[in-house]
Amino acid sequence: MLPGCLRCLGFADEVIVALDDRTTDRSAEIAESAMAVVLPVHFTNFSDLKNAGLKKARGQWVLIVDADERVTRTLADEIGHALERTASAFRIPRKNYFFGQEMRAGAWERERPVRLFRRGEAEFVGDVHEQLHLANGANHVDTLSNPLIHFSHRSIAQSLRKTIMYGELQAAELLRAGAPKVTWRTYFRVIGREFVRRMVLHRGYRDGTVGVIEAIYQPFSLFTVYVRLWELQHSPPLDVVYERLDQEAAGRANER
């Protein structure tokens, strides 16, 4: 997804690609061929990755773009004019495409993350689904009109891989935050609340088959997070449990 992203950033004075230093594909080569600065970062979480890019930046303003996002010409033009305003940061609406279809319901149409801000006045916090924390002085936040295009959830295989990666990080974050003990009731509460929010409150069914897929898949993603959290909370750890079960099985075999 990186080449398409970089092709849309010709208006920027500098482009910095923060890259997991364990990456073995052609990402670094692709970024360098687009005249971008490649910044290898040992990945710990998404906030640290983006904050490393912020520290490397030299411009007065910073625009954060993920590899699966596209900056249209109209948005680039609006950004150029917006920098003349007095605002310290700007929210940018996102137009989400899942499984090749634009999402118009299910809460996806409400996304307006802060992505454009003055350098040195913000940093990212959180391990996964990171949030931008603005400095006290950066309290004037405006909103742009043109959307950032987001090409996500391109296939069920990609979605499952992403769920596993995000789930591991999010469960660890919840554990460190002292999340309550996961019980069987937790799953019904988490899954039910998320399904009602997306399918009923935000009428995800209006997006047809893809909307229904997402209204079911997002609660499933949360389910995997809380199963992983349950595993992390399990005492004794599950690997210890299986080691004991292995020993017991070996003992019964020897009794024969």
Domain boundary among 102, 121, 152: 152
Q: How many domains does the chain have?
A: 2
| Residue ranges in the chain whose pLDDT is less than 50 | none
Average pLDDT, the chain: 93
Same domain? 40 vs 132: yes
Same domain? 31 vs 134: yes
Cis preceding-peptide flag for 236 (omega within 30 of 0): yes
Domain boundary among 118, 152, 186: 152
3-state SS assignment for residue 64: coil
Domain membership flag for residue 250: no
HSE of 54, CA atoms in CB hemisphere, 13 A: 20
Phi, psi of 125, rounded to the nearest 5 degrees: -130, 150
Question: How many CB atoms sit inside 10 A of residue 179's CB?
Answer: 15
Nearest to 155 by CA among 210, 219, 208, 228: 210
Domain holding 196, by residue range, is 156-242
Q: Which of the 8 DSSP states describes residue 8?
A: T
Same domain? 126 vs 25: yes
pLDDT at 107: 86
3-state SS assignment for residue 91: strand
Separation of alpha carbons 225 and 219, rounded Å? 10
pLDDT at 137: 57
Which CATH number covers residue 61?
A: 3.90.550.10
**pLDDT tens across 90-129, in order?**
999 999 999 999 999 988 888 999 999 999 889 999 887 7
Residues in the chain: 256
Domain membership flag for residue 255: no
Locate 107 and state its tokens. 């809460």
Domain boundary among 115, 137, 152: 152
Domain membership flag for residue 200: yes
Separation of alpha carbons 9 and 6, rounded Å? 5
Same domain? 98 vs 121: yes
Locate 103 and state its tokens. 């999402």
Same domain? 23 vs 122: yes
Same domain? 162 vs 141: no
Separation of alpha carbons 172 and 165, rounded Å? 11
Same domain? 225 vs 113: no
Nearest to 75 by CA among 141, 6, 5, 11: 11
Locate 91 and state its tokens. 């929210």
Contact 133, 82 (CB under 8 A): no
Same domain? 126 vs 46: yes
